[in-house]
Amino acid sequence: MTLNAACQSLECYNDLVTELNHHSYQYYVLDAPQISDGQYDVLYQKLLKTEAENPDWIATDSPSQRVGDQPLSHFESVTHRVAMYSLDNAFDDDDMQEFYQRIAERYPEQSLMFSAEPKMDGLAINLRYEEGVFVQATTRGDGKVGEDVTQNVKTIQSIPLKLSGANFPTTLEVRGEVFMSKSTFEKLNQQQLDKGDKPFANPRNAAAGTLRQLDSKIVAQRHLSFYVYGWGEVSEGWAIPELYSEMIAFFGEWGLPLNPNATVVEGVEGMAGYYEKMLQLRPSLPYEIDGIVYKLNAIQLQQQLGFTARAPRWAIARKFPAEEVWTELLAIDVQV
């Protein structure tokens, strides 16, 4: 990526950290971004480049060292039993090749299979089930501590309050994306305008703002959606299958909603083919996606590769080109 040159001085780097932390706070804590995601990503890539060239400059409060931001104070804080990570980004074929090569060099003998999934533009949530009964929902927060949004999440019709079947672990945490469909978003914004309230900037913002409503009756009226794509704590002794895709299939059998467009592909060519296919499908999907997430399908390899401070080494988010509607949106005074 050569979007932006690295900082040549420590002062420039420190200013960049301060600027990014300001925008992170606006985005994650206040749900009120002041710049577009594309603009944020350019600054963030500049930060990563600077840190790669000057590892001794890395500040402890650099956004590269964390996931999101601290939780709001309205909701009860919950410490995640298993940390919730973000994802590293790829912006072009070169970034994808680099991601693939890094893994292929370590496992030259194996044909590498990847789960390929639309990257829903919503927010990550952790759902905890005890004996198959839904007991708690938490936001990602800073990855270590999130907010308890159980009451609000209970209003999401597609989330089972009880798992079906019998072979699930006694304790099961599943993770996935809460999002707002395009049609629900349009209806909500029309209602906002009819009431003389500000419309929301985009479905992600509307979903995040809705989940942070203190009145769950309002949340129920807004019809949020959910797809599962991962897990956190699983009872010790319960045998996790060998493949990520098998575990996700179990979730489907237990009644959790799966994204019907998720699939498994082989190698870097398989990932590229899926990207092209989804880029075509994107306008006709009922919800917004901002890219594709690829995850190494073999759980043993995932475990061997592990995590950096903020993201798994076995997964990547290939971003779609940004749809820049930001300037127009700012001009019409939206609620962000």
Q: How many residues does the chain have?
A: 336
Q: Which residues are registered as beta bridge partners of 318?
A: 90, 292
- What is the distance between the alpha carbons of residues 275 and 267, in angstroms, rounded to a whole number? 13
24 scored as a contact of ligand NAD (CB under 6 A): yes
Asked if 295 and 115 count as a contact pair (C-beta separation under 8 A), the reply is yes
Q: What span, in angstroms and rounded, lies between the C-alpha atoms of 108 and 258?
A: 32
- As measured in angstroms, the least distance from the Cβ of 238 to ligand NAD is 22
Question: Measured in Å, how far apart are the chain's first and last C-alpha atoms?
Answer: 29
Q: Considering the rule CB under 6 A, would residue 317 count as an interface residue with ligand NAD? A: yes
Q: Are 287 and 225 in contact, with CB atoms under 8 Å apart?
A: yes
Q: Give residues 170-189 in contact with ligand NAD (rule: CB under 6 A).
A: 177
Q: How far is the CB of 56 from ligand NAD (least distance, A)?
A: 25
Which one of the spans 1-9, 82-90, 183-191, 193-201 is the region binding ligand NAD (CB under 6 A)? 82-90
37-76 mask for ligand NAD (x: CB under 6 A)?
A: x--xx-------------------------xx--------
Applying CB under 6 A, does 139 fall inside the site for ligand NAD? no
Spot the catalytic one: 46, 119, 295, 319.
119
Q: Which of residues 233-292 bind ligand NAD (CB under 6 A)?
A: none
DSSP 130-190: ETTEEEEEEE-TTSSEEEB-HHHHTT-TTS-SB--SS-S-SEEEEEEEEE--HHHHHHHHH
**119: annotated active-site residue:** yes
Q: Six-digit token pair at 190? A: 């029309």
Residues that contact ligand NAD, how many (by CB under 6 A): 25
Applying CB under 6 A, the span of 29-37, 180-188, 250-258, 266-274 interacting with ligand NAD comes to: 29-37
293 binds ligand NAD (CB under 6 A): yes
Beta-carbon count within 10 A of 6 CB:
17
17 touches ligand NAD by CB under 6 A: no
Angle 101-104-109 from CA coordinates, rounded to 5°: 155
Binding site for ligand NAD (CB under 6 A): 23-24, 26-27, 33, 35-37, 40-41, 67-68, 86-87, 89, 117, 119-120, 123-124, 140, 177, 229, 293, 317
Active site residues: 119
